[in-house]
A and B are shown apart, each in its own frame.
Chain A
Amino acid sequence: MITWLTIIGMGVITYAIRLAPIVLLERFALSPALRQALKFVPVAVLSAIILPELIMPGGGVDVSLANGRLLAGLLAIFVAWRTKNVLWTIVVGMVALWLL
């Protein structure tokens, strides 16, 4: 039940964000400062998810060669940087995880 409530709430929040500027346009001029801050949201939030996944896969910090996720992640970062292609990043990262 709580899961359903969570999902519906997530939907309402997402929809409100998408709808508000369209419907309340005249009251919703985004200030330049807010626009500038919003620009950093995807990079900041996603990086905050990525790094713990790489260096603390078991719950504790593990920066060693035994950490397959860290090695696979570093390789994936390199692939993403060179190819700018999400699919290649996933494929190379997963294969690396299975092999390492």
Chain B
Amino acid sequence: MQEPAISAEEPGRQAEWWAGVKSQLPIALGVIPFGLIYGVVALAAGLTPAQAQAMSAIVFAGSAQFIGAELMGKGAPLPVLWLTTFVVNVRHLLYSAQLGPDLQHLSRGWRFLLAYLLTDEAYATTAVHYADPQTPLTHKHWFFLGAGMMLWLTWQTSTAVGVFLGAEIPASWGLDFALALTFIGIVVPLLTTRPMLAAAVVAGVTAVLAHTLPYNLGLVFAGLAGIGVGVWMEKQ
């Protein structure tokens, strides 16, 4: 990750914006395959190319889009999809609440724009930058904007390529499995404590046991069960 130059002089808007863009470059490399796979998976689930691309622009949240495409493919009804989206994305409350105090001096327009660009990836580098006491707060929102725009462009472009390729790739390749693999790659490194491990195991097993519930509600129950066990174990 490239850190913005630290100097006694206050970095200008452009310098901050570029630093934000550059901070996303290594992350963007990792995001490109997910965008590609999302495009492919979304078409495999039955979305039209326009719908698949629009979801990237409107929702702009990778894991929720993967799950959303899968649930739509399985014919899950609308309230379940919305509830699932909420459960999967509720972690963004933490990011927003953490960055919020440093954005209070900004205009409404800025705050509405930056909220749209608040993804896991943009948060990761922006939070580090905001925590740096060497740089004054004055133009730090330009860093946020640069990071957010870079990730946005990467996501939209890679989705478009994935949608383009998706029509050419046969289902027998099992590319839908890439979704589960992506999640394994995200989750396993997070299992560093016993409560986290317990949350994962309980959620997974509950999901299997509850799969007969209608409307994919098993996912919601399983998530709640995992969270409950994790919190309970941490209190022990």
A residues contacting B by CB (< 8 A) are 2-11, 13-15, 17-23, 25, 28-30, 33, 35-56, 61, 69, 72-73, 76-77, 80-81, 84-90, 93-94, 97-98
In the docked arrangement, what's the CA distance between A43 and B179, Å? Answer: 15
What residues of chain B lie closer than 8 Å to A53, measured between beta carbons? 177, 179-180
Residues of B contacting A97 in the complex (Cβ-Cβ under 8 angstroms): 174, 177
Q: How far is the CA of A89 from the CA of B63 in the complex (A)?
A: 16
Q: Does B203 contact A (CB under 8 A)?
A: yes
If A13-B89, A47-B203 touch, whether A21 touches B100 (CB-CB below 8 Å) is yes
Contact A48–B30 (Cβ < 8 Å): no
Task: Assess whether B231 is interfacial by the CB under 8 Å rule.
Answer: yes
The answer to whether A46 touches B183, judged by C-beta atoms less than 8 angstroms apart, is: yes
Residue contact A72 to B187, C-beta cutoff 8 Å? no
Tell me, in angstroms, the Cα distance from A11 to B190 when the chains sit together: 27
Using A21-B100, A35-B94 as known contacts, list a sample of 7 further A-B pairs with CB atoms less than 8 Å apart, ordered by residue number in A.
A13-B85, A28-B97, A43-B191, A44-B200, A44-B224, A48-B223, A94-B181
Q: Is B149 an interface residue (CB 8 A)?
A: no
Question: Interface digits, B157-197 against A, CB 8 Å rule (1 contact, 0 not)?
Answer: 00000000000000001110111111111111111000110
Tell me the smallest distance from the CB of B226 to a CB of chain A, in Å: 3
Most A C-beta atoms less than 10 A away, residue of B78, B95, B181, B189: B181
Chain A positions within 8 Å of B60 at CB level = 11, 14
Q: Confirm or deny: B47 has a beta carbon within 8 angstroms of a beta carbon on chain A.
A: yes
Q: Let me know if B184 and A80 touch, CB within 8 A.
A: yes
Specify which chain B residues have a CB less than 8 angstroms from the CB of A29 in the assembled complex. 97
User: A35 vs B190: C-alpha distance in the bound complex, in angstroms?
Assistant: 16
Binds A, one of B7-15, B16-24, B50-58, B129-137: B50-58
**Roughly how many angstroms separate A88 CA and B227 CA in the complex, as a whole number?**
28
A34–B222 CA distance with the chains assembled, in angstroms: 18
Report how far A94 CA is from B201 CA in the complex, Å. 23
- Check A44–B68 contact: CB distance below 8 A: no
Given A6-B81, A38-B93, A38-B94, check contact A49 B180 (CB 8 Å). Answer: yes
Whether A89 pairs with B181 at a CB distance below 8 angstroms is: yes
